Amino acid sequence: MGLALLAIIWLITFFSTYFFVAKTWWLPHGASTAALFIDNQFALTYLLMGIIFVAAQGALGLFVWQYRDRAGAPKVEYSHGNTKLEVLWTVLTAVLFVGLNLMGSNVWARERFAPANPGSVPVEVTGMQFAWYFRYPGPDGKFGATSPKLMDPSAGSEAAVGLDTSDPAAKDDVVTGTMYLPVNREVDLRLRAVDVIHSFFVPNMRFKQDAVPGLEIHMHFTPTEVGDYEIACAELCGLGHYKMHGTLKVVSAEDFDKWLVAREAEKQ
Amino acid sequence: MVAQDAHDPHGNNVHVHAAPTGFIRKYIFSLDHKVIGLQYYFLALSAVFVGMFLSLLMRIHMIWPTAVLPLVGEIKPETYLSLLTMHGTIMVFFVLTTAPQGGFGNYFLPIQIGAPDMAFPVLNMLSFWTTFIAFMVILAAFFVTGGAPLHGWTGYAPLSALPSAGPGEQLGADLWIASIAIFCVASLMGALNFITTVLDLRAKGMTMMRMPLTVWSWFVTAILGLLAFGVLLSAGILLLLDRNLGTSFYVPLVVVNGQIMGHKGGSPLLWQHLFWFFGHPEVYIAILPGMGVASQLLSTFSRKPIFGYKAMVYAIMGIGFLGFMVWGHHMFMSGMSPYSAFAFSIMTMAIGVPSAIKTFNWLGTIRGGRVRFQTPMLYAVGFVSLFVSGGLSGPFLAQPVLDIPLHDTAFVVGHFHLIMGVAAIFGMFGGTYYWFPKMFGRMMNERWGRIHFFLTLAGTYAIFMPMHYLGMAAQPRRYSQFTELAYLQPLIPLNRFMTYAAFVTIGAQFIFVINLFWSMFKGPKANDNPWQATTLEWTTATPPPHDNFGGRTPVVNHGPYEYSVPGAPKDYVMQTDPATVTAH
Amino acid sequence: MATLSSTVTVNDPAAKGPKTGDGPGGTQPPVLGGGGGDRGGNGFPDYGQRLRRTRLGLLVGLIASTMVFVSFTSVYVMRRGLPTLDDRTGGYVHDWLQVSLPTGLLLVNTLLLVLSSITVELARRQITRQAALAPLQSIPGVSIGRERNYPWLGATLVLGLGFLTGQWMAWRELAGRGFYLATSPSSSMVYLLTATHAIHLAGGLLVLLYAGATGLLHRAVEGRRIVVDVTAWYWHFMAFVWIYVFALLEFVR
């Protein structure tokens, strides 16, 4: 039975570790400036936890077999513990865990403590049951007013976000269902939610932030590769949660400008 | 009037309350903690089968979203979310907070400290029946118009506060909140009883540092419950007010489907703060008793004292204390201040330290012992393995920057299921096989116990380990199906594998139940101490008499884990053995 | 055949002594000593131990109640300072409306509650003396003189009811001034805090009623003493909570 226990524990450990190491299913391709740092911190954590995982499971399996009760087994070591050893592994664990955390905190600070740099692309992201809308402030650089009274999702994108067309600043606002961003430029996101909590999740950008009704949350990231990326909702928001998705198209700076100009022209 | 030390025996102590007669007083409204413990246990057993059935339906729907099932029919996306909500709520409250503490704790805490019953037997009886009412109320949510709520066991507002935000959010959501509120009251009553009993009813010689680790875990768990459930109750009251009386604690001005709701100025984050201030201690409430059982079993079946008893006690206390300081790690993405996030994340890493200490000490207990592989031990070993696996994904989530890709993905689901949904359950399995002889006077079947163990260990790993891979691949949680996002398509085969594993694993649980009930009537008779264990429950008759010790009050002379003491006549010294047997 | 619990009854000759005070057997001298559990060597309940245990239980229970008031306090403080998004201007504003409290009426209620705390304390001390002297009354030939038994318990009940009535009147007054439960976050908190306290106090009143009833039914004084003692402490705690709530609402506007 000791051998059976050892076998099952070691087998489980082997298979689990195999799929981690083989990266059979893995983090999606990272295409933002944050991705490099996040993935590095992830790799470090994963290496350390992986070593502990294999060591602990290995020891568990080994001990239950090695110390099985059998004829001729050595006498039991009667002991209530070893204080020195306790202190040692407590300190080591604390240093490891807290140290690991502090290393990751730089990345967190860079992503979250400071606002977006000046010159970043302003985009307002609005989440509602069950779609994402993206608003660009247009040439005047100002987001126009929106009003809850004007919100009508059945009447198109501008009505969905409740754009108040009587506000002069709103006249050049572009509202779309697909997000366009220029590559290598930081985006200054303004996240809003209209009804319940949603979460704006772009896996390839290593970006996630809840959109909370009653709050206007500013976040930023910088896409580094042209391409099409999927946006998922990452906070349960109702029956359509699973299909509340969007698309982020990262394009060259010229293509972005062209696209924006074309949208502005459509408004005339 | 001189108050005498409660621990002084004074002649022959007799529990004068005659044992109850009549079916109602003996089995329904019993005041005997042993009967109440069994009532809690069987309530949890019913609840776990309901919860498992719900999860099976969930896993079926994830793979075959359009399937039409017998009895259940087609599962719509909103139904999936109701299944998910009720699965989580029933499992967390009516299984994980009920069986380990209310079930085993009620039955064995008084016996293990040498008391004839809990401090307040009437309150104990009331706390069980209040829990039962709470269970009935939540089951009722399935049957009302609109059905059960779909807002997840975490019930985030405004989704949970707006009846128009989804099907099931009308009466079903009110019943959900009411059930939880009733459960809070029941738990607070139970916590009061446990704490008073440990502080005031220990027998002579049973100092705090001679209590078994099971008792320590029940004690600290009760303290956590005492401090946490009041906050959940408050949160639930505010939610009921928002839903029904027009207040705006949680709901700002919102527009649902083009309709402006009549709320203003509320804060959805307030719900999260209140909920998780309760919610995080709750997960420690779910796991600490299992840790206590694991310690008990590893020591007993390795024939070796627990490695570092004092450190284990401090670790339990440390986990309990720190458990109140980490709630924000559920809210890293919520819009909370990033500076708060940093503070919470340091505290969260800190709580990994006492957990690691316990793991090292468990390994240290086995090492150098003479391990016996009866079924309870298999579960204890399984507990350690599962706790290691589930615990090590914690440091990923504890770092806010890694939480960015992993929050609200299957990674989190794998993390908490391995610990709560399997390790804690293994604690219950182990406790059942271990204490079954004492409760029912018979042994459970060893062979079927082993089969159940191996199938369940392999099966649960097969279901929950892959969730980590899926989470890294950015599969969000609470998605009823994976048909809408292109990047999720390659993940469906693995999900299918997990669903098959779920079928097998859930099927295997019937082995346990059959073994349980069959053995109650047909199992081989057990003697008073079949495991040759040291703690007080094994000194008394099987099953224990009404006052637990047959008219005597035990006097304790030894610590709880005196196995293989050099110079002792047997390889175990019971806590009540005369002091001269060993120096401890 | 498995059984859920043993039906073994205990037969101890010592237990056949005088019945405990639970039935209509009159008062009996409390017996000292005891082990685990609260029964003494002769089968008499150890009231001293039971009192201590019940007080400990109350203390533990009050911690849970405190957590509820702590939660509501943190909601109060947090909501008061919370900037909310103004949908018209798109900016953040503070929308905490000061509630016009009927302070005079609330002060009267506070006085009633403080007085009731005094009367319940007098009731507690009175029954403590009665319980201490009870053994002497069964000794033939000994007279301890007649002690006037003031109806302190009844007075507490009346004052407590007066407080609750006054609170009800305060709510009516608030409504009259236009402050209903859902009017504003601040008014919601006023009702929430005062109602939670009132519910706790009403619970205490019910227990006091029970204590009074057992007195009229001539239950054993030692048992009644425990009920009154513990309820009195609970009552003091609730009076303290009221002063705290009042101060919070009055000074943290």
Domain extent listing, chain C:
47-81+105-137+149-251
A252: closest CA of chain B, how far (Å) = 23
Q: Report helix, strand or coil for A77.
A: coil
Q: Which of residues 431-460 of B touch A (CB under 8 A)?
A: 450, 454, 457-458
User: Mean pLDDT, chain B, as a whole number?
Assistant: 94
Residue of C nearest to B226 (CA): C64
- What pLDDT, on the 0 to 100 scale, is given for residue B197? 97
Q: What is the mean pLDDT of residues B202-231?
A: 97
Beta-carbon separation of B373 and A89 below 8 A: no
Residue C31 and residue C44 in contact, taking contact as beta carbons nearer than 8 Å: yes
- What pLDDT, on the 0 to 100 scale, is given for residue C145? 60
Question: Do B413 and B331 share a domain, yes or no?
Answer: yes
* CA A85 to mean position of chain CA atoms: 39
Range of the domain at B573: 527-584
pLDDT > 90? residue A45:
yes
List residues bridging with A126 in a β-sheet.
A133, A192
Question: Do B201 and B302 share a domain, yes or no?
Answer: no
Residue of A nearest to B65 (CA): A242
- CA–CA distance from B568 to each of B297, B561, B572, B574 (Å)? 21, 13, 8, 11
Question: Do B303 and B324 share a domain, yes or no?
Answer: yes
Write down the ipTM of this complex: 0.96
CB pairs under 8 A between B and C: 217
Among residues B215, B237, B266, which one ends one of the domains?
Answer: B266
**pTM score, whole prediction:** 0.93
Q: What is the mean pLDDT of residues B299-327?
A: 97
Rounded distance, CA C228 to CA A9, Å?
59
Query: What does the pLDDT look like over B422-451, one tens digit per residue?
Result: 999 999 999 999 999 999 999 999 999 999
Q: Which residues contact B99 (CB under 8 A, 6 or more apart)?
A: B40, B41, B44, B45, B48, B428
Residue B51 and residue B91 in contact, taking contact as beta carbons nearer than 8 Å: yes
- What pLDDT, on the 0 to 100 scale, is given for residue C222? 86
Rounded distance, CA A266 to CA A260, Å?
10
Residue of A nearest to C85 (CA): A214
Residue B90 and residue B519 in contact, taking contact as beta carbons nearer than 8 Å: no
Counted domains in chain B: 3
Q: Is B299 on the interface with A (CB under 8 A)?
A: no
Place of tokens 């503490």: B101
* Candidate from B303, B346, B565 with C-beta closest to A98: B346
- What pLDDT, on the 0 to 100 scale, is given for residue B213? 98
- What pLDDT, on the 0 to 100 scale, is given for residue B18? 64
- What pLDDT, on the 0 to 100 scale, is given for residue C44? 58
Q: Which two tokens stand for residue C169?
A: 């009147």
Q: Is A126 on the interface with C (CB under 8 A)?
A: no
Rounded distance, CA B393 to CA B386, Å?
11
Read off the CATH number of the domain in which B44 is found. 1.20.210.10
pLDDT > 90? residue B579:
no
- What pLDDT, on the 0 to 100 scale, is given for residue C9? 36
B218: closest CA of chain C, how far (Å) = 15
| pLDDT tens per residue across all 253 residues of chain C | 343 433 333 333 333 333 333 333 333 333 333 344 444 444 456 888 999 999 999 999 999 999 999 999 999 999 999 988 887 777 888 889 899 999 999 999 999 999 999 999 999 999 999 888 887 777 777 766 656 677 899 999 999 999 999 999 999 999 999 999 999 999 999 999 999 999 999 999 999 999 888 877 877 888 889 999 999 999 999 999 999 999 999 999 8
Q: Mutate which of C87, C94, C95 to test chain A, going by most A C-beta atoms within 10 A?
A: C87
* Candidate from A28, A108, A201 with C-beta closest to B476: A201
Task: Report the interhelical angle of C185-216 vs C47-80 (nearest 10°).
Answer: 170
- What pLDDT, on the 0 to 100 scale, is given for residue B125? 96
Residue B5 forms part of a structural domain: no
pLDDT > 90? residue A106:
no
- pLDDT-wise least confident of B325-339, B340-354, C138-152: C138-152
C221 or B18: which leads in pLDDT: C221
Q: Residue C60: list chain B partners with CB under 8 A.
A: 191-192, 195-196, 226
Q: Which of residues 85-124 of C touch B (CB under 8 A)?
A: 85, 87, 95
Question: Do B129 and B52 share a domain, yes or no?
Answer: yes
* The CATH number fitting domain C47-81+105-137+149-251, selected from 1.20.120.80, 3.40.50.2300, 1.10.800.10, 3.30.70.360: 1.20.120.80
What is the residue extent of each domain of chain A?
A: 2-69+80-112, 121-267
- What pLDDT, on the 0 to 100 scale, is given for residue C143? 65
- What pLDDT, on the 0 to 100 scale, is given for residue B25? 80
- pLDDT-wise least confident of A108-117, B308-317, B529-538, B559-568: A108-117
Place of tokens 């429950």: B537
- pLDDT-wise least confident of B124-133, B465-474, C28-37, C92-101: C28-37
A214: closest CA of chain C, how far (Å) = 6
Rounded distance, CA B576 to CA B528, Å?
15
- What pLDDT, on the 0 to 100 scale, is given for residue C22? 37
Beta-carbon separation of A195 and B402 below 8 A: no
Rounded distance, CA A172 to CA A191, Å?
20
Question: Do B262 and B295 share a domain, yes or no?
Answer: no
| CATH-assigned architecture of domain A2-69+80-112 | Orthogonal Bundle (1.10)
Residue B469 forms part of a structural domain: yes
* Candidate from A86, A129, A153 with C-beta closest to B357: A86
CB pairs under 8 A between A and C: 10
pLDDT > 70? residue A122:
yes
Phi/psi at A201 (5° precision): -125, 115
Question: Do B220 and B302 share a domain, yes or no?
Answer: no
Residue A41 and residue B276 in contact, taking contact as beta carbons nearer than 8 Å: no
Q: Is A214 on the interface with B (CB under 8 A)?
A: yes
Q: Residue C64: list chain B partners with CB under 8 A.
A: 188, 191-192, 226-227, 229-230
Among residues B522, B556, B575, which one ends one of the domains?
Answer: B522
pLDDT > 80? residue B527:
yes
Q: Residue A245: list chain B partners with CB under 8 A.
A: 484-485
Question: Do B381 and B402 share a domain, yes or no?
Answer: yes
Question: Do B363 and B410 share a domain, yes or no?
Answer: yes
Q: Which two tokens stand for residue B562?
A: 């005196």
Question: Do B474 and B328 share a domain, yes or no?
Answer: yes
Query: What does the pLDDT look like over B153-198, one tens digit per residue?
Result: 999 999 999 999 988 899 999 999 999 999 999 999 999 999 999 9
Q: What is the mean pLDDT of residues A240-259?
A: 96
Q: What percent of chain B has pLDDT over 90?
A: 90
Q: Residue B265: list chain A partners with CB under 8 A.
A: 214
What is the CATH code of the structural domain delimited by A121-267? 2.60.40.420
- CA–CA distance from C179 to each of B113, C34, C83, C168 (Å)? 54, 57, 21, 14
Q: Which two tokens stand for residue B401?
A: 């920057």
Rounded distance, CA B451 to CA B252, Å?
54
Q: Is B487 on the interface with A (CB under 8 A)?
A: yes
